[in-house]
Amino acid sequence: MATSKTKKEGTPGPDDSAFRTQSELSDVVIVVEGRPLHVNRSVLSHISPVFLKMFNGEWKGKAEVPLADKKYDHFVELLLCAYPPQCKLISMETLDVVLPLADEYGIESIKLRCEEFVLARLQHRDMEVNNPPTKELVHFLYLADKYKLKKLLEETVEKVIHRSYNGKDCVKMLNEFGLLSVEVKFRVTSERLCLINR
């Protein structure tokens, strides 16, 4: 389960004004949920090998391309984080939206920014009593595992082995712990056993 807040009914979506209309720099329209986003193919190709391949392949020469199975607000969030001059900061509200799309489109710079955001959050939360809540920590472990974020994986494994494994809200009872890869589950379990047997 994601810890990021989901958009409430009636709340405004992300600011899409930079992509709503054609500009001197836009040369292609990406259509998401029937709504146009005016973007520059060179910019997207520069940040994403997946877009580069599409613009040189199936989308070559097309002025308008539809993206199926994507949410408009989510794709706008990705553009806001990736597209100069916006380069919006990653936040808890956007992490679970932006990271999967960055992974899907191979935008390593955004994946790195997501990882750095979580690492900074963990470092900040270390100074707090709740350090962070176990559910949030396991969520970050799940993201690190799923999206191959090595530094974050090291940090979250080190923290999660010190958490409770008994009781209602313990590590192993959380849904996302069950979704971890076999390798990461084994690593967490074995490192925890080593810690207990010291």
Mean pLDDT of 114-140: 85
pLDDT at 84 (0 to 100): 79
- Mean pLDDT computed over 189-194: 89
DSSP string, 71-120: -HHHHHHHHHHHSTTT-PPP-TTTHHHHHHHHHHTT-HHHHHHHHHHHHH
On average, the pLDDT of the chain sits at 89
What's the predicted TM-score (pTM) here?
0.87
pLDDT for residue 17 is more than 50: yes
Q: Is the pLDDT of residue 10 over 70?
A: no
Give the chain's domains with CATH numbers: 14-107 (3.30.710.10), 128-198 (no CATH)
Q: Please say whether the beta carbons of 114 and 98 come within 8 A.
A: yes
Nearest to 195, CA basis, from 157, 169, 154: 157
Residue 83 has pLDDT above 60, yes or no: yes
The rounded distance, in Å, linking the Cα atoms of 49 and 108 is 10
